Amino acid sequence: MQPIRVAIVGLGKIARDQHLPAIAGNPDFALAATVSPRGAGLDDVPHFPSLDALIAAGVAVDAVALCTPPQVRYAIAVQALAAGLHVFLEKPPGATLSEVVALEAEAAASGATLFASWHSRYAAGVEPARAFLADRRIDRVTITWREDVRVWHPGQAWIWEAGGLGVFDPGINALSIATRILPKPFFLREAILSLPANRAAPIAARMTFSDAAGTPIAMDLDWRQTGPQTWDILVETDAGDCHLAKGGSVLTLPTGTETQDDHEYPGLYARFATLVRERRSDVDIAPLRLVADAFLRGERETVEAFED
């Protein structure tokens, strides 16, 4: 079986750190090209300033992985789908819910695969946690996601602009896990979003969710943490605690602790290969919907200006 020829669109930090190694390590894929309006490409791989230029050059490509900021992703995805290309969307899948719904319809009409990826769902502890929680009574959930934006997004001005999500860029990772492991859907009760005086997106947020049974779910997001980073989800149940740490790679259950190596992006590309071979799409907007609810319903407070 021939490998899926994939082009990366947007050759920034996430593409270089995660997508390129995952593609290189998966025999189902071959890197066919890179696309970026700025900077150089890779040695021995065709490079283009735009998707238009790639398509016009006639380079054989089956799929694209869109690693651009979400504000510009919709138009590129529409163009790729219209050309019959399968599309892998880096998270979040779009700048708005309406864009993602429209893309799903475009993919269905074109017959191409559309994959809205949530890399944190592929952390090693997520599926075992989901299995443990499936038949438990959930008493309380506490989500703490605190990191240093200067480490993870240095100089990335787009992330502070409208549509860039601010602290919800990492926070949506926690929500992608929570919506996967918790057995019941949950929804926002209240939120306080902290916006720096000089930015359009929040640097911190405190939220309260609950499910239909009234189970309390508290979420604390902050982009100002220095030193050790905190990516924890604690679920208290009638059978003991389920604790996911380090973004889901470390799972502690009443029976003990399991730690495994990171395989998030290899897992994503394995899933994408299956979807492409089966001509199916996977477009789950639940995490993005909860973020949209926070912006819709949350109170705003202004905090001190932030300089990168």
In this structure, what token pair is assigned to residue 70? Answer: 């979400």
Residue 194 CA, distance from chain mean position: 22
Burial of 198 (0-12, 13-18, 19+ CB in 10 A): exposed
What the block records as the tokens of 295 is 């912006």
* CA gyration radius, the chain: 20
CA distance 116 to 93: 5
Phi-psi region of 190 (alpha: psi -120 to 50; beta: other; left: phi over 0): beta
Residues belonging to the active site: 91
CA distance 94 to 287: 12
Separation CA 198–CA 189 (nearest Å) = 28
